[in-house]
Amino acid sequence: MLEDKEKWNKKYSQENFPWQDASKIVKEFYSLAPKGKALDLACGLGRNSIFLAEKGFYVDAVDISDVALKNLKNKKNINPVEADLDFYNIEQNKYSLIVNINYLNRRLIPQIKEGLIKGGVVIFETFVLCNEKGVFQPKNKDFLLRKNELIHLFLDMQIVFYSEKTVEKPNGEKACVSSLVAKKECLF
């Protein structure tokens, strides 16, 4: 945990992040979720948390980096939570929206589903293993989805949107990403 925290604190202290706006997928699909509590996993500097708070959600913004979370202190409707996501547990039936962008921890997938209220929405987008030259990928292959893995992980939910493609990130790098929006169906 300490090693990860130091790594991310250094990254957020030294690097310039060109993306300040919320993720495109969050902007496009947040309105499908009923207003209420939102969870932003691995929130980083909080671009999605800030956007969601401005749209009327009360956001728990979780990250391991206390340096990144300082950006969210004293922001209205945002609760910064410093936690190692390898050990963090999502409370059941608490959130109307859960956002997971550029992060993968397969242990959390069942908890994401259980953490949503009925009618709640998950917005999930992260990197996929691909063999294209010049494409950004995390070095640790455990943090990469396999082809069609994301859709299979959420087949027990109502899939609203799904895609796998190569995109250009805000910093100009290309990346293979898988994107999914799914709704926890209401059972009558």
pLDDT for position 136: 76
- Pairwise CA distance, residues 39 & 58, whole Å: 9
Look up residue 96 and give its DSSP letter: E
Nearest to 45 by CA among 64, 68, 62: 68
pLDDT for position 138: 72
String of DSSP letters for 40-95: EET-TT-HHHHHHHHTT-EEEEEES-HHHHGGGTT-TTEEEEE--TTT--PPTT-E
How distant is the alpha carbon of residue 114 from its chain centre?
Answer: 16
Q: Do 166 and 174 touch, CB atoms closer than 8 A?
A: yes
The residue written with tokens 């030259």 in the block is 133
pTM of the model: 0.89
Q: Do 65 and 80 touch, CB atoms closer than 8 A?
A: no
pLDDT digits (tens, 9 = 90+) for 70-108: 989 989 999 999 999 999 999 999 999 999 999 999 999
pLDDT for position 118: 95
State both tokens at 30: 């947040």
pLDDT for position 80: 97
Highest mean pLDDT among 95-109, 132-146, 170-184: 95-109
Better-predicted residue by pLDDT, 115 or 141: 115
- Pairwise CA distance, residues 102 & 107, whole Å: 16
pLDDT for position 187: 56
Nearest to 173 by CA among 141, 136, 145, 137: 136
- Pairwise CA distance, residues 51 & 57, whole Å: 9
State both tokens at 137: 């990928």
pLDDT digits (tens, 9 = 90+) for 6-45: 766 677 777 666 557 899 999 999 999 999 999 999 999 9
pLDDT category at 132 given cuts 50, 70, 90 is confident
